[in-house]
Amino acid sequence: MDNSKTIVTHEKVESNNKSGINYTTVVEQFGCQLIDNELISKVKQVVKKDTLHPVLENNIFFAHRDFDALMDKCLHEKKNNFYIYTGRGPSSTNLHLGHMIPFMTAKYLQDIFDVPVVIQITDDEKYYQTNSNIPFEQYRQYAFENIKDIIACGFNPKKTYIFLNSIQNTHFSHNSVKIQKRIKLQHFKNTFGFTDDDNIGKVSFPSYQMAPSFASSFPILLHPPTDDNPQLDSFYNPISSFFGQIINPDAHKEYLKQLSNMKCLIIAAVDQDPYFRTLRDIAPKINEPKPIVIYSRFIGSLQGKDKKMSASVNNSSIFLTDTSKQVKKKINGAFSGGQETLELHRQLGGNPDVDVATQYIEFFSGDTEMVAKVKEDFRSGQLLSGELKKKCIEIVNNILDEHRQNREKITNELISEFMSIRSLI
Q: In the complex, which residues of this chain contact its own copies (CB under 8 A)?
A: 124, 127-128, 136-137, 140-141, 144, 164-168, 170, 173-174, 177-186, 188-189, 194-201, 203-204, 207, 238-240, 242-243, 245-247, 249, 252, 412, 415-416, 419-420
Backbone φ and ψ for 320, nearest 5 degrees, come out as -65, -20
Between 37 and 186, CB nearer to its own copies:
186
Closest to 66 (Cα-Cα) out of 35, 103, 26, 92 = 35
Q: How far is the CB of 187 from its own copies (least distance, A)?
A: 8
Smallest distance from the beta carbon of 203 to its own copies, in angstroms?
A: 6
Tell me the three state secondary structure of residue 269.
Answer: strand
CB nearer to its own copies: pick between 52 and 286: 286
Question: Closest distance between its own copies and the C-beta of residue 393, in Å?
Answer: 34
d(CA 123, CA 130): 11
Smallest separation (angstroms) from its own copies to the CB of 236: 13
In the complex with its own copies, the residue whose CB is nearer, 44 or 182, is: 182
The minimum distance between CB 238 and its own copies, in angstroms, equals 4
Distances (CA, A) of 135 to 90, 130, 147, 166, 291: 13, 10, 19, 14, 34
- Choice between 240 and 347, CB closer to its own copies: 240
For residue 212, the minimal CB distance to its own copies (Å) is 15
Radius of gyration in angstroms for the set of CA atoms belonging to the chain, rounded to a whole number: 22
- CA-closest candidate to residue 109, choices 77, 167, 169, 64: 64
Nearer to its own copies, 178 or 330 (CB): 178
**What letter does residue 91 receive in the DSSP assignment?**
S
> Which CB sits closer to its own copies, 26 or 179?
179
Q: How far is the CB of 196 from its own copies (least distance, A)?
A: 4
Q: Which is nearer to its own copies, 373 or 422 (CB)?
A: 422
Give the DSSP H or E segment for 273.
helix 273-282
SS3 label, residue 160:
strand
One-letter identity of residue 94? N
DSSP type of residue 265? E
Enumerate the β-bridge partners of residue 120.
Answer: 87, 163
d(CA 200, CA 324): 43
Say how far apart CA 304 and CA 307 lie, in whole Å: 6
What is residue 362's DSSP assignment?
Answer: H
Quote the least distance from Cβ 133 to its own copies, whole Å. 9
* Pick 169 or 229: Cβ nearer its own copies: 169
Residue closer to its own copies by CB (options 177, 313) is: 177
Q: Which is nearer to its own copies, 59 or 176 (CB)?
A: 176
DSSP for 307-359, written as a single string: EE--TTSTTS--BTT--HHHHHHHHHTS---S-SSHHHHHHH---TTT-HHHH
CA atoms of 135 and 149, how far apart (whole Å): 22
Residue 88 backbone dihedrals phi, psi, to 5 degrees: -150, 135
> DSSP for 17-43?
STT---HHHHHHHHT-EE--HHHHHHH
Least Cβ distance, residue 406 to its own copies (angstroms)? 20
* Shortest Å, Cβ 284 to its own copies: 14
- 1 or 200: CB nearest its own copies: 200
Angstrom distance (rounded) from CA 105 to CA 60: 10
Least distance (Å) between residue 180 CB and its own copies: 3
Assign 188 to helix, strand or coil: helix
Q: Provide φ and ψ at 11, rounded to 5°.
A: -130, 5
